[in-house]
Structure 1
Amino acid sequence: MSLLRHLLQFVFCLILLPALLGCPKTPITPPPPVDEPPSFKPLEGSDAESLAAHLSTRHQGLGSWAALRPSLEDSLGYILKRPQNAVAVNRPGLTLTWAQLGDSVAELIGLLPQIDRDPRLMAERFQWLKVAPGTLLTGYYEPWLEASLTPTDKFQYPLYGVPEDLMTAPLGEFHYRWKGQALTYRMGEEGIEPYFDREAIDGKGALSGRGLEIAWAKDPVDVFFLQIQGSGRLVLPDGSVKHILYGGKNGHKYVSLGKLLINRGHVPREEMSMQRIRTFLNANPETAQQLMFENPSYVFFRLSDEGPYGSISSILTPRVSVAVDRTMIPLGSVLALKTALMDYDKGEADPFMSLVLAQDTGGAIKGTRMDLFCGSGNEAELLAGHLQEDSEVFMLVSKRVMPEQAALLEN
């Protein structure tokens, strides 16, 4: 039986099974009510001027706004590859095409030399649209871990490349209700099956002996955290360093280990951080593996001499690149972020008001939530591991295209 026939049978069953069983088409348990649907709300000119006056690159390691040019050009390059007349974002308060979004980014690139002298130009030339109802800002980073390109007694835990039998089918091609969704699977003896989960791979050796290993780590907890972050750096026995980048995943749902530890009373909610999770796992090796198995999601990697790369295929910039829900904020967008970042040298939170770029996505990043790429190394790990900050985010759109977007809203 052909693969296409198997897929058609699967989708046919998904569509017709509720009707055959006499079940309602909508979920039995309705989703929790949402007080305010995600939207964009324009700021008054005076409010935008006040925020723009406080823009600063101080916390981003940039000598001037001109240093943003390479990252902005990467964003613009991504935007220009989209269908220019297609809608990039359509949410209450804002509808933009990719062409209009590109015009906004291009205008900012041309304005960079002047912003150092007068950041208030950002309010004069751009409309500030607040992301509502609010933004939870979290962080991610590029972990370093000791590893080897060959297995030894010290390095026993494999890091896998993308398996050749990992298949993906775009479900939107079978039914309009699943537009944008994909099915990840493998072919079993009886047809399509879910791909192997974490327990099958790490506990039962489902991928062993297939030559898929691209490196070996010395600590399974390091492997687990590398998979959560999606990319990292391998420090090899000779002292050289290799980037290890996201290659794909098995399609299973991500289960937060932090939530499990809180719900089972292992770690108080107020103490939760990535560092606290690692401490618990290291202190409880007899239960660590089983706890990690409860997250069935599994990430596959590839090695590179450069990285890390975001979803627009450009190298991420620390404290500049952010991961967003692309259905809320289109990739390539320029955003102003108002928040506070912990300065661990001073032991206090430091106000942050700067421009960030939507250059990445993440499985847990939904709606207005945003993930800040914190960089690489111990300081980045500390910041990312504790970052949970209610923040304000503003999408910046050139005022030159605002009349056009108003016409789109009316239509």
Structure 2
Amino acid sequence: MIETLRSTVFAGVVMSGNETAAQSKPVHKLLDFQQLDGWETDDHQAALDVFLTTCSDMKDPAWRALGTVAAEQTDAKAFFELFFRPVLIEDGADALFTGYFEPELHGSRVQTETYRFPIYALPPEAREVSPWLTRRDILSGGYLHDRGLEIAWVDDPVELFFLQIQGSGRVRLPDGGFLRVGYGGANGHPYRSIGKELVRRGVYDAHQVSAQVIKNWIRRNPREGEDLLYHNPSYVFFREVSEVPAHLGPLGAMNRSVTTGRSIAVDPVFTPLGAPVWVEKDGKDPIRRLMVAQDTGSAIKGAQRADIFFGTGDKAGRAAGKLKDTGRMAVLMPIQHVSETLPEAVQ
């Protein structure tokens, strides 16, 4: 995200299924639109509207030109079929779809007895030294106290930890207003999954672990829970981005709002940011939908790896937390790119 941890986002907490999958040279296979399951019945205009939010920001002039053409279209499905070709990109790892969301916390711009856990901005010294202090050092050493780095205070340290995992979120204020925070930097230490640690300790089996399960365990075991949070040495700092209207999603890696059910986080090594991507998620509640690659994340690695944005708040979080399915995805590439840069593609 910008490269935020947001997209871990969820998979990183729960345990990404292909974190250690062997990578091989990617293979490209050219598909027909008729080979895309559910293509005919999707809402292509909804996908086009999302594509238009970021296509003008793409570096490649061919993509930007398509964005100009897209703005004049009255038949979205025909537009995609005329100017793009679906390309299946595989790197030897199994496909994995997970979900992420924008958490909403309760907080205040001033510290109170209820709101006493600070959301910090990035301190200057953390910009100059990487890695900087660990999570344990930062929280137990008092290095950031009373330095004017507090953006807001929230009422729950566990929700604050998960805000750092997501990398962005909203804070609901006592007067009914809100402020929004986005990724502002990190201390440079690698993310370590606390879900995996609970499995290693024998507390849960891997299939039992979810964000809600982890939260509940920490609250039932406050002393051990604090130690568990310290297992992850990574610490994320924030910046206020309240200029993003409340009805829009948080900013993704392209510095534009992501859209519920239509934006995905991908690995930009394989999928260009801004590209339309046909998603065929299997498992419970299958998804067949054209989405747009508008985000990234530290746990999103591989050609067939994507994180689907589910929206803001607890309901979105519960839905995102349940998602961990296989399937496949095909990147819609401009026709000229298919012919010029993918000569190895096979029919």
Normalising by the smaller structure, the TM-score range is 0.7 to 0.9
Q: Secondary structure at the match of 1:167?
A: helix
Equivalent in the alignment of 2:119: 159
The amino acid that maps onto 1:395 is: V
The answer to whether the 8 A contact 1:323-1:371 is kept is yes
Structure 1 38/258 Cα, relative in aligned 2: closer, same or farther at 3 Å? farther
Q: Does 1:358 align with 2:293?
A: yes
Q: Structure 1: where are the runs of 5+ without partners?
A: 1-30, 58-64, 83-97, 169-183, 186-193, 342-348
| 8 Å Cα contact 2:87/2:330 also seen in 1 | yes
The equivalent residue for 2:13 is: none
Q: Hey, what's the Cα distance between the residues in 2 that align with 1:47 and 1:221? A: 45
Cα distance change on mapping 1:41 and 1:249 into 2, 3 Å: same
- The residue matched to 2:35 in structure 1 has which SS? helix
C-alpha separation between the residues in 2 aligned to 1:51 and 1:259?
36
TM-score (norm 1): 0.71
Aligned 8 A contact 1:319 1:356 in 2: yes
What CA deviation, in whole Å up to 9, does each residue of 1:357-402 have, x standing for no partner?
1111111111232111110122211111121111211001233543
Question: Which residue number corresponds to residue 39 of structure 2?
Answer: 52
Q: Percent identity?
A: 34
Give the letter aligned to residue 116 of structure 2: Q
> Highest relative contact order (Cα 8 Å, sep 6+), 1 or 2?
2
Shift of the alpha carbon at 1:66? 3.3
Contact 1:308 1:315 in 2 (8 A): yes
Q: Distance in 2 between matches of 1:108 and 1:391?
A: 28
* Mapped partners of 2:45, 2:34: distance in 1: 26
Correspondence for 2:57 among 66, 78, 87: 78
Structure 2 partner of 1:150: 110
Identify, as 1 or 2, the structure richer in strand. Answer: 1
State which of 274, 284, 291 in structure 2 corresponds to 1:332: 274
Please name the residue that 1:129 is paired with.
87
Matched residues in 1 for 2:21 and 2:179: separation?
46
- Structure 2 residue 201 is matched with structure 1 residue 239: no
Using the TM superposition, give the Cα deviation of residue 43 of structure 1 relative to its aligned residue in structure 2, in angstroms.
1.7
Which shows bigger deviation, 123-132 or 151-160? 123-132
Partner of 2:22: 34
Paired position in structure 2 for 1:212: 149
Amino acid at match of 2:159: D
* Long gaps (5+) in structure 2: 1-18
Bigger-Rg structure (1/2): 1
Amino acid at match of 2:281: T
Question: 1:322 corresponds to which residue?
Answer: 264
Whether 1:371 aligns to 2:333 is no
Aligned to 2:7: none
How many equivalent pairs are there?
319
**Residue of structure 2 aligned with 1:251, choices 182, 188, 207:** 188
Residues 120 and 51 of structure 1: CA distance in aligned 2, closer, same or farther (over 3 Å) = farther
Residue 215 of structure 1 aligns with an amino acid whose one-letter code is A
- Residue 114 of structure 1 is aligned with which of 49, 67, 75? 75
Q: Secondary structure at the match of 1:151?
A: coil
Q: 1:147 to 1:69 in 2, by over 3 A?
A: same
1:34 offset after TM fit, Å? 2.9
Letter in 1 for 2:27: S
Amino acid in the other structure paired with 1:52: W
Asked if the contact 2:70–2:79 (Cα under 8 Å) also holds between the matched residues in 1, the reply is no
8 A Cα contact 1:282 1:288, kept in partner: yes
Tell me the residue number matched to 1:99: 61
Residue 380 in structure 1 maps to residue 316 in structure 2: yes
Q: CA deviation at 1:259?
A: 0.9
CA offsets 1:175-199 (integer angstroms, 9 cap, x no match)? xxxxxxxxx52xxxxxxxx311110
Tell me how far 1:224 sits from its aligned partner. Answer: 0.2
Contact 2:276 2:293 in 1 (8 A): yes
> Are 1:336 and 1:354, in contact at CA under 8 Å, matched by a contact in 2?
yes
Question: Are the equivalent residues in 2 in contact too, given 1:75–1:333 (CA < 8 A)?
Answer: no
The residue number in structure 1 matching 2:31 is 43
Name 1:26's counterpart in structure 2: none
